Amino acid sequence: MANTDAQWNRWAQETLGYTFKNLSLLRLALTHTSFANETHAAAHGDNERLELLGDAVLGLIVTEHLYNRLEEAPEGHLARLRSAVVCEPSLACVARRLGLGQVLFLGKGEAKSGGRHRSSTLCDAFEAVVGALYLDGGLDVARKFVLSSVAKEINRVIAGDTLVDPKTQLQELVQEKEKETPMYRLVRAEGPDHNKTFTVEVYWQDLVRGTGSGRSKKAAEQAAAKEALDRITVINA
């Protein structure tokens, strides 16, 4: 994305549903430490402080929502549900749906090593964006964004499915963005019957997107999906 105010405003409105009054907050939220260090932009900073703030705001919003929605749930159950929503795999999945990886400011080395698709980086960026929205628009703006963004994750954990596994993440992402369903094929089964290793490829649009191995076909499929998520470059918000 070219770095003009008009384009950033358009992206924020289309992706986040909000127009920033202070666009520097949005840019800061999307600035990884590697970019700040590599460009010697110490005065500009990175998104770590906003990530800390956003984590607290996110926890408050999700906890409040669960508290009001599940009136009879005890404290321990609410805490477990919150933890299942506000965790790296869950938030990285949300960040991928939003396409945050494609607009991050990364250092050259970090970008080359796959930083745009790394779950920890995407999770941090999502939390930083929440922090930026909170500072720019207040709690109501942050709440509206968070609850719309993580609605799928909240509904999933309330229904009892707390594991956001790589295969599910990949299927939801590809179906939403590419209107296709990832397909899996067994390419190898090695070893004796009691100790086989299976190797599986995942593909769509006739291209292999990931390969994984495991002691079962299911484990191999999960490994292939994880590799595809780590390598994914064709899906944008």
| In a shared domain, residues 11 and 80 | yes
Q: Is residue 237 part of a domain?
A: no
Q: Tell me how many domains the chain contains.
A: 2
Given the residues 46, 51, 55, 124, select the one marked as catalytic.
55
Chain segment 162-199, per-residue pLDDT in tens: 556 888 878 888 887 778 899 999 999 999 888 899 99
Domain that holds residue 111: 5-164
Q: Is residue 81 part of a domain?
A: yes
Chain segment 126-141, per-residue pLDDT in tens: 999 999 999 999 999 9
Domain CATH for 82: 1.10.1520.10
Q: Residue 164 and residue 53: Cα distance in Å, rounded?
A: 24
Choose between 111 and 19: higher pLDDT. 19
| In a shared domain, residues 20 and 64 | yes
Q: Residue 135 and residue 26: Cα distance in Å, rounded?
A: 10
Residue 179 falls in which region: left (phi positive, over 0), alpha (psi -120 to 50) or beta: left
Domain CATH for 184: 3.30.160.20
Q: Residue 139 and residue 133: Cα distance in Å, rounded?
A: 8
Three-state secondary structure call for residue 40:
coil
| In a shared domain, residues 27 and 96 | yes
Catalytic (active site) residue 55: yes
Catalytic (active site) residue 161: no
Q: Residue 139 and residue 114: Cα distance in Å, rounded?
A: 33
| In a shared domain, residues 50 and 138 | yes
Closest CA to 217 of 231, 196, 203: 196
Given the residues 51, 110, 124, 127, select the one marked as catalytic.
127
Domain closes at, from 140, 164, 188: 164
